[in-house]
Chain A
């Protein structure tokens, strides 16, 4: 039942992008998102797309695998697209194409809808490239390292990162356990596959309760095991794996610097997303 749950979507190959420092990759994804939101015309988005395609090529992840991540947000995109198309309230320089009650469709709303949809798609594609090329563990390491300055304002960064990595580590174990409990309950005559939504949800209670109880028992034992291995928080602790910036990360920095600068220049010289309507309609 839960066998096909693979946590994260890491795509295990060796590549330029895979070998980058996870911290750098996180920063680059933020830069990429900034670029998407700075871009105010289709040329800017085209530039972002081009940069993304090059990154995908360098990562050696098949393009189809990256595109698959869009499926998750398809509903969201359609939903926002419909709202945008019919309820866009911006100024319109042209006759509305359709107007009825509070609903109206204008040239601007069409342009805006397409623009926002492309933006959302690019957003998801870029961030999923991060999770495709970075293991959850090194992602956690990266986040811990980036958030380190927050320890000065008493944020328990190390503890949070440890919680995250332990959670990641226990996911396969708890999935196994869930399958085992489901089998055990089925053997006792439990029925998980028939009945309405409410009946099925209720049928899951005898699975969830033993799972919860066992998770607590595991947590207690893990706590003891960590104590026994001299764990006492971040104090006086060293780290075995060290993250290091390399020439790859420097190139990446340049790459995304160029992207942001390019997007800004395109905004300045080519105007807003609606500018081309004026060229078409004179």
Chain B
């Protein structure tokens, strides 16, 4: 089933001028897909995310979530119930001073009965591996832990789509790994549709599909490996290759016959192979 559909969507933050943050995007995301949205700062990728969640409504064109049009006000609540969104700064999305109270915030808003909220907190904290921090204070946790709590807070709403708007940008490598691990598990085990907005190319490799945005438009769309194979084109959008692929490219330029590699393991294998041949 189609989870999200953009039909020639344009969005402008200021009505008077013609500078569109999102400029004529047509895009379809299937249920269960793991899509990475890549782009430089100001490429419109965050705006794209907010359009799905009705935090913004399109200036032109239409956005549909499970067939529900975001411009219809009475559907806003139903759309948000189905689309969880995790933001960049974990500090700015935590409402309560105790972890379980914060996770409870979403279900409370939905009017879920008390016992059911308890079960949902268990489920959500289990899913992000933070069960033992139930009574902790968010401000004392590490960045990665805080962001996992934020994800749990969204999971407790039981959404079908999870949007992560640069949710790993403020984390250290350890925290980033923790969060990516949680996201990948949600996608594989629960079939959650994941839309990951990021400017870390290595994260995009874990997705099924990568969408590159540039100046409000979708300029590339395909499997991450295919996208990264077109490195010259990527450079014109000011994007770099994942680290392993970058090293690969440089080695080839220096005359070492290595094949394509995107992860450290693949790279090591390729280098070994080419050394054996020599």
Residues of A whose CB lies within 8 Å of any CB of B are: 136-137, 162, 165-166, 168-169, 172-173, 218, 221-222, 224-232, 236-242
Question: What are the residues of chain A within 8 A of B87 when measuring CB–CB?
Answer: 221, 224-225, 228
Docked CA distance A242–B113 (Å) = 12
Contacts A222-B92, A237-B109, A242-B114; A137 near B98 (Cβ below 8 A) = yes
Q: CA A162 – CA B84 in complex, angstroms?
A: 22
How near does chain A come to B78, taking the closest CB pair, in angstroms? 10
**Residue pair B89, A226 in contact (C-beta under 8 Å):** no
Q: Are A240 and B80 in contact (CB under 8 A)?
A: no
Query: Could you list some 23 contacts between A and B, CB below 8 A?
Result: A166-B95, A168-B97, A169-B97, A172-B139, A173-B139, A218-B91, A224-B55, A224-B87, A225-B95, A227-B55, A228-B84, A229-B80, A229-B105, A230-B77, A230-B106, A230-B109, A237-B108, A240-B101, A240-B107, A240-B108, A240-B114, A240-B118, A242-B114
The chain B residues found within 8 Å of chain A, CB to CB, are 50, 53, 55, 77, 80-81, 83-85, 87-89, 91-98, 100-101, 104-114, 117-118, 121, 138-139, 153-154, 157
Main secondary structure, interface of B, reads: helix
Complex Cα distance A166/B111, Å? 20
Residue of A nearest to B53 (CB): A228
Partner pick for B96 among A169, A231, A238, CB 8 A cutoff? A169
By a CB distance below 8 angstroms, the chain B residues around A221 are 87-89, 92-93
Nearest B residue to A172, CB-CB: B139
Interface centre among B93, B98, B104, B114 (most CB of A within 10 A): B93
A230 with B139, Cβ < 8 A, contacts A225-B93, A242-B114 known:
no
Q: Which of B80, B88, B93 contacts A222 (CB under 8 A)? A: B93
**Residues from chain B with Cβ under 8 Å of A169 in the complex:** 94-97, 138-139
* Cβ B157 vs Cβ A229 within 8 A: yes
Kindly state the separation between the CA atoms of A213 and B104 in the bound complex, as whole angstroms.
30
Name the CB-closest residue of B to A166.
B95
Indicate if the CB atoms of B95 and A228 lie closer than 8 Å.
no
Once bound together, how far apart are the Cα atoms of A240 and B108, in whole Å?
Answer: 7
Which partner residue on chain A sits nearest B103 by CB separation?
A240
Instruction: Judge whether B111 and A237 touch: CB under 8 Å.
Output: yes
Give the CA-CA distance A166 to B92 in the complex, in Å: 11
Q: Which residues of A contact B100 (CB under 8 A)?
A: 240
Whether the pair B101, A238 counts as a contact (CB closer than 8 A) is no
With both chains docked as a complex, state the minimum distance between the C-beta of B182 and any C-beta of chain A, in angstroms: 18
Contacts of B77 in A (CB 8 A): 230, 232
Answer whether A228 and B101 are a contact pair too, CB < 8 Å, given A172-B139, A173-B139: no
| Known A165-B96, A222-B92: A230·B85 in contact at CB below 8 Å | no
